[in-house]
Amino acid sequence: MADSQYPYPPDRFDDEADAVTFHGAHRAELPFWRENLLYIIIIGAAAVMLVVLLFVIGGVGGDGDERAEDPTVAAESEQSESAAAEESSAAEEPAAEPDLSVPVQVVNAGGINGLAGTWQSTLEEQGWEDVSIATAQNAQQEPVVFYRDEANADTAQALADQVGAGDAVQSDEYEAPITFVAVAEPGDGDQEEGDGEG
Per residue of the chain (198 residues), give pLDDT as tens. 455 666 777 777 766 666 655 555 556 677 777 778 888 999 999 999 999 999 888 876 554 444 445 555 555 556 666 666 566 555 555 556 788 888 899 998 888 888 888 998 988 888 888 888 888 888 888 898 999 888 888 988 988 888 888 888 988 888 888 999 988 888 765 444 333 333
For residue 65, give its domain range: 34-77
CATH of the domain at 157: 3.30.70.2390
In a domain, 99, yes or no: no
- Which residue, 42, 77, 112, sits at the end of a domain? 77
From CA 123, how far away is CA 106, in angstroms rounded? 10
In a domain, 152, yes or no: yes
Same domain, residue pair 159 and 108: yes
The closest of 83, 76, 96 to 154, measured between CA atoms, is 96
In a domain, 172, yes or no: yes
In a domain, 10, yes or no: no
Same domain, residue pair 111 and 164: yes
In a domain, 85, yes or no: no
Q: How many domains does one find in the chain?
A: 2
Give the DSSP letter of residue 146: E
Same domain, residue pair 49 and 112: no
Same domain, residue pair 110 and 171: yes
Long-range Cβ contacts of 82-85 (<8 Å, 24+ apart) = none
SS3 4: coil
Same domain, residue pair 129 and 166: yes
Q: How far is CA 136 from the centre of its chain?
A: 44
From CA 16, how far away is CA 26, in angstroms rounded? 19
In a domain, 108, yes or no: yes
Q: Kindly give, in sequence order, each residue whose CB lies less than 8 Å from that of residue 162, ignoring residues fewer than 6 positions away.
A: 126, 192, 195
Name the strand (E) or helix (H) holding 106.
Answer: strand 104-108
Give the DSSP letter of residue 154: H
Same domain, residue pair 68 and 127: no
Same domain, residue pair 108 and 177: yes
pTM: 0.48
In a domain, 16, yes or no: no
Burial status of residue 81 (CB atoms within 10 A of its CB: 0-12, 13-18, 19 or more) = exposed
In a domain, 96, yes or no: no
Same domain, residue pair 124 and 162: yes
